[in-house]
Amino acid sequence: MKKVSIALLVAVFSFGCMQPAKDPLAGTWIDLSHDLGDDTIYWVTAEPFKRTTVSEGKTEGGYYYSAYNFSGAEHGGTHLDAPIHFAEGKKTVDQIDISQLVGPGVKIDVSAKAATNADYQVTTEDIQSWESANGKIPEWSIILLQTGFATRWPDKKSYLGTDRKGPEAVKDLHFPGLHPDAAKWLVENRKFKAIGIDTASIDFGQSTNFASHVALMTNNIPAFENVADMNQLPAKGFQILAFPMKIKGGSGGPLRISALIMAGNN
């Protein structure tokens, strides 16, 4: 009896001391990815997303079964540009380390300037102004550029500057991007993992030489394009997780990107 009582006492005491395990990922999750569907915006010369039905409904066996085929260009919707996209011999999608796609995020908001200038390019001064207010960009951050254009999705005319398709539509593209001088300044002066923007390209719509792509990708820095609405993100103090489809040898691929604002930081 004594042994049973002692054992019971120990069990009760141990149970009372147990604390519920804390969720290490507790906080506010923000999905920064646009859906892939019939209205997904792709580059004007790219093959758009298509989905066809293989099966949808009850089978002869009496159970429900759905399956589909899908196709589309690597670069459409929310997606990743791998370095090889604009830099020969650099990393393909499958060669990018997962650690390069996860990290602390910062958001540089130029939406007020882009609202009155669809061809606006984020400048070195914009980045330095952000740092004056928020401190130096932490090493190995993921930088997000907010132009406000995500709120125009999926209106192609408003988002891209044109709703036409084909090579003849390229000259009509108008949307903000990162100025090549700013891209070079970041590469030369800051250590960062990746950079993203809420437009169709890290270079602005009227670019003809894609110099920002080249500056970043020759240094094996990937870009995230068509990132969804960033309005819920603070300027800093959040984590980014960005996982593309792992296409062997791919120059890019569909991207699921999200932000986590840890509990206590929001």
Segment (H or E) for 243: strand 236-244
What does the pLDDT look like over 81-119, one tens digit per residue? 999 999 999 999 999 999 999 999 999 999 999 999 999
Kindly give the pairing relationship between strand 141-146 and strand 102-109. Answer: parallel
pTM of the model: 0.90
The share of the chain scoring above pLDDT 70, in percent, equals 91
Is the pLDDT at 247 greater than 60? The verdict is yes
- 65-79 tens-digit pLDDT: 999 999 999 999 999
Q: Which amino acid is at 74?
A: E
**Which DSSP string do the residues of 105-132 spell out, in sequence order?**
EEEEE-HHHHTT-TT-EE-HHHHHHHHH
User: Is the pLDDT higher at 80 or at 2?
Assistant: 80
Whether the bond between 254 and the residue before it is cis, its omega within 30 degrees of 0, is: no
Give me 65's structure tokens: 């079964």
Q: Indicate if the pLDDT at residue 44 is higher than 80.
A: yes
For the segment 242-258, the average pLDDT, to the nearest whole number, is: 98
Give the HSE-up count for residue 144: Cα atoms under 13 Å, Cβ half-sphere. 34
Q: Do the beta carbons of residue 104 and residue 233 sit within 8 Å?
A: no
Which 3 state secondary structure label does DSSP give 52? strand
* Domains contained in the chain, CATH given: 23-40+73-262 (3.50.30.50)
In terms of C-beta density within 10 A (0-12 exposed, 13-18 middle, 19 or more buried), how is residue 146 classed?
Answer: buried
Query: Above 70 in pLDDT, residue 15?
Result: no
pLDDT of residue 210: 98
